[in-house]
Structure 1
């Protein structure tokens, strides 16, 4: 049974359709990435799935419960970590977790708090005020509060925004440990390296789900070709080739360019024609996940404009 199995979800605000006919599934114990530009409908979709919002149409199940009629049962089995740090900054780590434990009516609540502090390596900091924590430790506190009641599904909305690379890696190590223990995770992110750590990814753009599958599935399905271009004056080369036949994207990467197009033969022919006159060399390379997502964004229109 899938932990998430929803179909044709629609959510509107006034005349704006924020979630437009979204169908997706997430297997039990899977880490599923949820990607897309700002304003694409990721947060709204997550809130529908955890029972905080009701879809205007569509339905399905989350953890086996009906999305439209059993929202209260879904909420009890879900941990939801929002984008914004939402704990009492003038209370300590331990006091914040005690408050959350009482909300969930965990008994004995002190034991649950102690266990959670120990599991996430926060015991030595339990008396530190939440407001004085660094971004990485605030993130860890938020995760601790989300998993204290042992949810079956963890929904994370851009959880690593604003934290350093070491804290991000430690966070993802913890997520993989939770998934290995059977917890299902749906995480929205803008970081390509984080997307590549997911078992599967889903890309949503302005309300529409455009792609789902493994990272390699999504890259292969985009049917893009990428060449690496190198030369003496890379900035001038970028300006000169961005509008030639077959070129959809030109992106600087250090001292080279990633040149991406949908028609491999046309792109290769155009680069061959201009290589000598513009003074560059080029070779075929693998298309990256970032190349694919930029292409998705270029081909989508903002439904909120």
Structure 2
């Protein structure tokens, strides 16, 4: 396998009318990695993915995907990429097998029947091969869509919000399959806004309103942000939350079920505040390692909506 990255782009930019939806975006994705795009809806993730796989021409920037120029070799990129869109886009009045056979014909694949049968077996679809796609649940439609993406044995999978609207078990099964593919050397770029999925990724890029806020190995993102986080448990959390927002060193207070996560980048000031409140003995305080969700909330708080009325 080549040591060159699967994707390497700089300055990727896209405008729709007067609005800039992707703003000088840089990304490098190692081959065989699971790379997560993490960001809220409308942050530019889908537009970026479409530029990377040759479906949209960027207005600015340059780079390569799988060794091909994203501007002038789009057709070559498409032949090596499996793209799973947010919305189920296969034919609901065809069976699972018929859908896969149709996709194989579209790609003019050799060993067509063998490839379809293998996809049915590997994705656990063989027993439902004759079932109409329109009668499938969200989780089974997801499996079918992934099977269709894999028929031509792509080097790169681009998955756009692939688990939206499916149940927790289907999401776990899906990620088991993604890890299996990554272990075989397939590079996976997946966009999501689920934090429990973000931790499944080897690398993460946080995106908000068209701009990349930060990227790196997922385990190191909170440390890059520099957050210190305390956990508070006890009664009357709303009152404590309101009070904390005016205390020195507190830059963020987030409710997680029956606990509060209090974060800041000034450790000395935050620790002093927690010490003073802890001495009141009204709540239990525990220092904890900041997680991806705390980091994401913190970064989003400083991001500016590019569709706001006063946005430039």
**2:32 maps to what in 1?**
29
Asked whether 1:173 is paired with 2:176, we answer yes
Task: Tell me the distance in 2 between the aligned counterparts of 1:108 and 1:255.
Answer: 56
Distance 2:236 2:207 in 1: 37
Name 1:7's counterpart in structure 2. 10
Instruction: Measure the CA separation in 2 of the matches of 1:6 and 1:166.
Output: 35
1:51-62 equivalence runs, <5 A: 51-62=54-65
Report 1:127-166 matches (<5 A). Answer: 127-166=130-169
Distance in structure 2 (CA, Å) of the matches to 1:238 and 1:121? 47
Q: Does 1:44 align with 2:47?
A: yes
Specify every segment of 5 or more residues in structure 2 that has no aligned partner in the other structure, as ranges. none
User: Does the 8 Å CA contact 1:229/1:258 hold for their aligned counterparts?
Assistant: yes
Contact in 2 for aligned 1:224/1:261 (Cα 8 Å): yes
Q: Hey, what's the Cα distance between the residues in 2 that align with 1:266 and 1:7?
A: 38
Per the TM alignment, residue 274 of structure 1 is displaced from its structure 2 partner at its CA by: 3.8
Structure 1 segment 1-305 matched on structure 2, within 5 A:
1-276=4-279, 279-305=282-308
Note the aligned Cα RMSD (angstroms): 1.4
CA deviations 1:20-78 (Å, max 9, x no partner) are 11111111111111111111111000000000000001111100001111001001110
Cα distance change, pair 108–274 in 1 and its aligned pair in 2 (3 A): closer
With the length of structure 1 as denominator, give the TM-score of the two structures.
0.96
Deviation at 1:277, TM superposition (A): 5.5
**Relative to structure 2, which stretch is displaced further, 139-148 or 117-126?**
117-126
Q: Distance in 2 between matches of 1:80 and 1:184?
A: 12
Q: Cα offset for 1:110?
A: 2.2
CA 283–119 in structure 1, closer or farther in 2 if over 3 Å, else same: closer
Residue 262 of structure 1, CA deviation: 1.6
2:220 & 2:128 partners in 1: Cα distance? 43
Measured after TM superposition, the shift of residue 155 of structure 1 is: 0.2
**What TM-score, normalized by structure 2, do the two folds share?**
0.94
Could you tell me which runs of 5 or more consecutive residues in structure 1 were left unpaired when the two chains were aligned.
Answer: none
Aligned length: 305
Deviations 1:200-231 (A, max 9, x none): 11111111112111122211100011011122
**CA distance in structure 2 between the aligned counterparts of 1:255 and 1:108, rounded to whole angstroms:** 56
* In 1: Cα distance, 2:280 partner to 2:286 partner: 17
1:245: how far off? 2.2
Which SS does the other structure have where 1:89 is aligned? coil
Q: Per-residue CA shift, 1:153-174, capped at 9, x if unaligned?
A: 1000010111112111111111
Q: Deviations over 1:102-132 (max 9, x none)?
A: 1101124222211211121111100111111
Give the Cα–Cα distance (whole angstroms) in 2 for the partners of residues 296 and 125 of structure 1. 44
- In 2, the alpha carbon distance for the partners of 1:230 and 1:22 equals 40
Q: Which moved more, 1:42-51 or 1:118-127?
A: 118-127
